[in-house]
Structure 1
């Protein structure tokens, strides 16, 4: 009999991730904390939207924080999107072998 350790990340009492990789679980949990902070900040700044939309937006921003940081530092949208396209092409090329 084998013993497997699983890490379960929950958010608002809903399972969001189950993994055997502690580092991945910690990273995902940190991303969700960042998303909660972003949602709280947007609400405090007067942004009003349905809770589900606010959660979706804040999670998208948290997942893409490096790209958002580049945009906030003045990098052009085209450059950030071009970098994203290059990442997708590299992944596709890597999977074909």
Structure 2
């Protein structure tokens, strides 16, 4: 199940390669949770790949149901990104987090 793959990546600090909204991206998943709309969201830091906005590196918020072809890259990140915070107004309930 996709949520299990994402939580495992968060727990092991593993990069993921995902197809999302038109292209492949490499991400560091930091938190997955439930929004007020009941959508499952993923807060992640994108390190490379496609971006509709043109911002190929930076913080992203993905709707998990739109993620496809999710797989670990085999690369691990050692620490959360400096800007990472436990306060996340986009999610009212956390499923898994760093």
Q: Greater relative contact order (Cα 8 A, min sep 6): structure 1 or 2?
A: 2
Structure with the higher fraction of residues in strand conformation: 2
TM-score, scaled relative to structure 1: 0.21
Structure with the higher fraction of residues in helix conformation: 1
Q: Which has the larger radius of gyration?
A: 1
